[in-house]
Amino acid sequence: MSTHVVSSPRTTGQPGQRVLRYTLNERIHHWVGFLFYLYCLITGLAFWSPYMYWLAALVGGGPTARFWHPILGVCFAVSMFWMYKMWDRDMQITEADRRWKAAIKNYVENDDQNLPPEGRFNYGQKLFFWLMFYGIIFLLLSGIGLWFVEDIPWSLRWLRYLSVAVHVTAALATIGGFIIHVYMGTAMVRGGFTSIIRGEVTADWARTHHRLWYEEVTKRQPPPGEAGSRK
């Protein structure tokens, strides 16, 4: 059973109350994944450009970086698949997302009062999740090609080149998402960062950013049937 709807004893939904947003399990998996991704990012950037090769020194030097990059890359893939198991249901695009997406300009400009209500995750968070999910699949497959490049026979050498192209493209795409994710999680959405560390948000926070989810977990109002429905 997915743990996406959670209420702790403290979850009463009264103003000033706190709502459990991420379980301990979810928080741990998020941060384990983050560490693996960060390592692959630092070492990957070192291999990407001579001007960033010095980054390899931060993590033990070139050969060490090269040794761990693929191994921790596989670990990140495993961790990503775990997050998929955890959040797959919550990450499906819903009707509410489509309405929210139509008003995304208001979200970007912080005009949050003029936004259709969202569920546990908003459309942008879901996009980021699926970007990372499909990104790591491409990174994993192409990474295997790069890792065992000598085992790809000469007659199939197009696979070597394809691996390079796919790995670089997928990596850059995830980096783009990562920059936005870190920015929003730390600077832009106040309260978001503590929620993924301590797990809790204020009721006002939940109501402001994820109204449908807030109503669902606090049972303050029956969730509007269509708006909360999946697909």
Is position 48 an interface residue for other proteins (rule: CB under 8 A)? yes
Q: Is 63 in the site for other proteins (CB under 8 A)?
A: yes
Contact flag: residue 51 with other proteins (CB under 8 A): yes
Least distance (Å) from other proteins to the CB of residue 98? 22
Q: Among all chains, which residue has been given the structure tokens 């560490």?
A: 35
Q: How far is CA 63 from CA 7, 51, 89, 129, 171, in A?
A: 48, 17, 40, 31, 21
Tokens of 103: 């008003």
Binding-site string for other proteins from residue 122 to residue 151, where x marks contact by CB under 8 A and - marks none? ------------------------xx-xx-
Residue number, 92 or 208, with CB nearest to other proteins: 208
Residues 6+ apart with CB under 8 A from 10: 17, 18, 20, 200
Please state, in angstroms and rounded to a whole number, the distance separating the CA atoms of residues 167 and 148: 14
Residue 160 sits in the site that holds other proteins (CB under 8 A):
yes
User: For the CA atoms of 163, 124, 100, 5, what is the dihedral angle to 10 degrees?
Assistant: 110
Q: Does residue 176 interact with other proteins by CB under 8 A?
A: yes
- Residue with tokens 């399990």, as numbered in its chain: 25
Q: Which is nearer to other proteins, 66 or 85 (CB)?
A: 66
CA–CA distances in Å: residue 71 to residues 7, 15, 36, 40: 37, 47, 10, 9
Q: Which of 49, 156, 222, 226 binds other proteins (CB under 8 A)?
A: 49
Position 50 contacts other proteins (CB under 8 A)? yes
Choices 4-12, 94-102, 127-135, 181-189; region in contact with other proteins by CB under 8 A:
181-189
Burial class (CB in 10 A: 0-12, 13-18, 19+), 214: buried
Q: Which residues bind other proteins (CB under 8 A)?
A: 14-17, 46-51, 53, 56, 62-63, 65-67, 108-110, 112-113, 146-147, 149-150, 154, 157, 160-165, 168, 172, 175-176, 179-180, 183, 187-191, 202-205, 207-209
